[in-house]
Structure 1
Amino acid sequence: MNIMSRKEIEIQGCVEVPVDLTLDEFMDKFIAFIEENSWYFGGGMNEIVDGFYINPDGSKGEAVF
């Protein structure tokens, strides 16, 4: 019997990007990288500007720290 195992790597951190790169653009590039390697990604992403989470409407949310 051949039992397939899987390995996962949890990502905890931030990626610093140019201020004109949108979250959607970053996600497209990140997912393309994942798919080019035949990997899978499950999870979410948040945008942070000047130490604050950015709400879906573009307003500042809670402070990161």
Structure 2
Amino acid sequence: MKKGIEISGAIFANEGNIDHDEFLDKFIEFIEANGWGFGGGSKQIDEEGNDFRE
């Protein structure tokens, strides 16, 4: 049986905003560079945790 890690939380920049697509590109690059896979989803939120759509 494989064991994995479940992630639940939010990531914010110390200054400014994080571009969703840029974050996903870097996140997936990190995951793949370590020989791992990711299954799940993501969404852009505001500082109160509400869905954010431009």
TM-score bracket relative to the smaller structure: 0.7 to 0.9
CA-based RMSD of the aligned residues comes to 1.4
- Displacement of 1:44 in angstroms is 0.4
Q: Are 1:32 and 2:43 matched, yes or no?
A: no
Tell me, in whole angstroms, the C-alpha distance in 1 between the residues paired with 2:36 and 2:47. Answer: 32
Q: Are 1:9 and 2:5 matched, yes or no?
A: yes
Give % identity: 43
How many correspondences in the alignment?
51
Structure 2: 5+ residue stretches without partners: none
Tell me, in whole angstroms, the C-alpha distance in 1 between the residues paired with 2:24 and 2:31. Answer: 10
Structure 1 or 2: more strand by fraction: 1
* Structure number, greater radius of gyration: 1
TM-score by length of 1: 0.68
Structure 1: 5+ residue stretches without partners: 59-65
- Displacement of 1:50 in angstroms is 3.5
Structure 1 or 2: more helix by fraction: 2
- Displacement of 1:31 in angstroms is 0.4
TM-score by length of 2: 0.79
Instruction: Identify the structure with bigger relative contact order (alpha carbons < 8 Å, sequence gap 6+).
Output: 2
Tell me, in whole angstroms, the C-alpha distance in 2 between the residues paired with 1:16 and 1:50. Answer: 8
